């Protein structure tokens, strides 16, 4: 394998990998079951000791 073939592979499949990872994180963040957990975490800085 030379540099050009590795570079082409990384550009093609790296993009697909990162896009799939982005979709997975987006689904996790917007999943209704996680709403309460994220709401609690968002209010932590506003709590007083």
Q: What is the pLDDT of residues 10-19, one digit of tens each?
A: 988 999 999 9
**Interatomic CA distance for residues 25 and 28, integer angstroms:** 5
Return the percentage of the chain with pLDDT > 90, whole number: 82
Does the pLDDT of residue 5 top 80, yes or no? yes
Q: What is the pLDDT of residue 44?
A: 95
CB neighbours (10 Å) of residue 47?
7
- Average pLDDT, stretch 13-42? 95
């Amino acid at each position: 394998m030379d540099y050009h073939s590795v570079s082409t592979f990384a550009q093609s499949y790296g993009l697909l990998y990162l896009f799939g990872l982005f979709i997975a994180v987006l689904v996790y963040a917007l999943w209704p079951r996680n709403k309460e957990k994220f709401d609690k975490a968002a209010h932590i800085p506003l709590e007083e000791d």
